[in-house]
Amino acid sequence: MNSWFDMRKRLKLNETINKTQYEQFKKERDYWIQVILRIVALIKFLAKNNLAFCGTKEKLYQKGNGNFLGLVEMLEEFDPVIKENVRRIINDEVHVHYLEHNIQNELIFMISQETKKEIIKQIKEAKYYSIILDCTPDSSHQDQMTIIVRYLKFSSNSVTVEESFLGFLDVNDTTGKGLFDITVKELKYFGLELDDMRGQGYDNGANMKGKHQGVQTRFLNENPRAFYTPCGCHSLNLTLYDMATISTKGKSFFGKIQRMYTIFANSNNRWQILKDNVKSWSLKSLSQTRWESRVESVKAIKLQLADVREALLEVGEKDGDLAIADEATTIAENIGFDFLVSIIIWYEVLDKVNIVSKRLQSKDMHLEIAIKEIKRLIDFFKEFRENGFSKAIDEAEKIAFEMGIDTIFAQKRVIKRKKQSDECSSSQEASFTPQENFRVNYLLYIIDQAITSLETKFDQFKNYEKLFGFLFPQNLRGIEDEDLKLSCNFLENALKFEGRSILMVRSFIWS
């Protein structure tokens, strides 16, 4: 017992026989803790900025060893802990140094798991959530689906809407059922209840938005309160795509815009000719995915059309490629009044849609504002249908006068097709003047397509406005008590599923 008491006393006072060895062990332990803390900080920095870790080599001070080892080399100049670690590595004093790619991957995985745990914790605290899904192939042509969860984050003095990325999911079956099954499996893995889902947002693909076999329908069958909303910006993109491809003139217009850019971009000499003539805005290629961003391509040509034409004519005179020279000259000479009116119309349309698209992507966007923005856009197209053509003619005439272009629409020879045996030989198509033909068969055609497309793609907003519209601040201020009760009952019934309601709507409103 005396020996034991003596031993306990020495342990407390740190005066045991292995005191020196313990101090060395503790010092070495603290050293490696400091090393790992710095390595974790480097990994967090690279991951946060979406930078590659490894290069073609895995040794310090070798060319092409990547960002991670490059940062270690940089820190070695200033940080004594990293400096000591690098010294040990170079002198072959240690075999374990925590810089290998396997350690990097392990630390990345551990950090990602802890991050996901914190996100899932916040989602469960909020209880209700929405999901956003999108698929895209990676560089190895493997389809991957991103899963993002939208939820409310509560703090002591505020409530904010958060969107958290939970990862990529490998997808082999891109049908509605395949995507639904893999999403449900992932949500169950995170411990998120399907019954707590209150929203879903996807693009307009048939496998996602399909009314019979799509992902949104399958979730609604499991939980009718998981309201589906298609991506607003993708819907606007499809509207512009429908407008541009529904007519031959639309296809020809954008083909000419792209060809103007391509002629100059494919040669340094031709690009220099463009720079010598065009001083303000450089030409831009047409985006194949974000149609509203094409306004920048159209704007650069519309505001500098005379300069662009001069550049094309100069290419036609000086370029050694006969085909390119001929094409440049042809495009320049075919810039007529039709093209002037078209570029004015498309600039107005693209500019308006681009503004709405950016607003729909703003952080403070909510249902009431989104509905108002879409209504304003539809009203714009309706007003443009009535008055846009005359305004475009007036502006085009001013530009035509400055450029010396005749203010008349080109009249093409009508190609008569052979009539079928069951067609009435006396039937005649309505004949228009070239200007009226442009207005009726082009402008009105694409504008009507835009209005129809917008009303169809955003039809879901009308249902949500009927359901939640009474909660909009402007509507709630002036609503009568009886109407408020009816609206609460309607909302409560809509939120019931299998005899249960997510909240007592009437009590919530009155409180």
191 and 329 belong to one structural domain: no
Q: For residue 500, name the pLDDT band (cuts at 50, 70, 90).
A: low
| pLDDT mean over 449-462 | 87
Is residue 421's pLDDT more than 70? Answer: no
Crossing angle between the packed helical segments 295-302 and 248-265, to the nearest 10 degrees: 70
Task: Give residue-wise pLDDT tens across range 218-229.
Answer: 999 988 888 888
**Residue 126, in any domain of the structure:** yes
Question: pLDDT at position 488, please?
Answer: 87
394 and 281 belong to one structural domain: yes
Domain boundary pick from 99, 134, 150: 99
Q: For residue 491, name the pLDDT band (cuts at 50, 70, 90).
A: confident
Measured CA to CA in angstroms, residue 47 lies from 43, 50, 64, 227, 427 at distances of: 6, 5, 19, 34, 69
267 and 314 belong to one structural domain: yes
Q: For residue 415, name the pLDDT band (cuts at 50, 70, 90).
A: low
- Domain with 216 in it: what CATH number? 3.30.420
**Residue 448, in any domain of the structure:** no
Domain boundary pick from 229, 256, 284: 229
132 and 39 belong to one structural domain: no
Give the contacts of 178 (CB within 8 A, at least 6 positions apart): 171, 172
Domain tally, the chain: 3
Residue 243, Cβ density class (10 Å: 0-12 exposed, 13-18 middle, ≥19 buried): buried
Is residue 502's pLDDT more than 70? Answer: no
**Residue 176, in any domain of the structure:** yes
Question: pLDDT at position 186, please?
Answer: 92
CB under 8 A, 24+ apart: contacts of 165-169? 166/116, 166/119, 166/190, 167/112, 167/116, 168/144, 169/144, 169/145
**Residue 499, in any domain of the structure:** no
253 and 189 belong to one structural domain: no
| pLDDT mean over 425-450 | 79
79 and 176 belong to one structural domain: no
In this predicted structure, which of 82-91, 143-152, 160-169, 422-431 has the lowest mean pLDDT?
422-431
Helix (H) or strand (E) holding 160: strand 159-170
As a whole-number percent, the residues of the chain with pLDDT over 70 amount to 93
**Residue 128, in any domain of the structure:** yes
Is residue 37's pLDDT more than 90? Answer: yes
Q: For residue 381, name the pLDDT band (cuts at 50, 70, 90).
A: very high
124 and 160 belong to one structural domain: yes
Handedness of CA 494, 498, 503, 506 (dihedral sign): positive
224 and 248 belong to one structural domain: no
Domain boundary pick from 203, 229, 255: 229
Phi, psi of 200, deg, nearest 5: -145, 140
**DSSP-based three-state secondary structure for 221:** helix
Angle of CA points 500, 505, 511, to nearest 5°:
140
**Residue 187, in any domain of the structure:** yes
196 and 313 belong to one structural domain: no
Higher local confidence (pLDDT), 96 or 275: 275
Task: Give residue-wise pLDDT tens across range 118-140.
Answer: 999 999 999 999 999 988 887 77
Task: Give residue-wise pLDDT tens across range 58-98.
Answer: 888 889 888 999 999 999 999 999 999 899 988 888 888 88
> Do residues 328 and 308 make contact, with C-beta atoms less than 8 angstroms apart?
no
Rounded CA-CA distance 352/240 in Å is 11
182 and 257 belong to one structural domain: no
- Tell me the pLDDT of the chain averaged across its residues: 86
91 and 130 belong to one structural domain: no
**Residue 354, in any domain of the structure:** yes
Is residue 380's pLDDT more than 90? Answer: yes
**Residue 452, in any domain of the structure:** no
190 and 277 belong to one structural domain: no
Strand order across the beta sheet in which 129-137 lies: 159-170, 143-154, 129-137, 197-202, 227-230
In 3D space, the residue among 284, 292, 409 whose CA is nearest the CA of residue 354 turns out to be 292
- Domain extent, residue 145, equals 116-229
Rounded CA-CA distance 261/304 in Å is 13
Task: Give residue-wise pLDDT tens across range 170-189.
Answer: 888 888 899 999 999 999 99
Give the contacts of 505 (CB within 8 A, at least 6 positions apart): 488, 489, 491, 492, 495
Crossing angle between the packed helical segments 215-222 and 176-190, to the nearest 10 degrees: 50
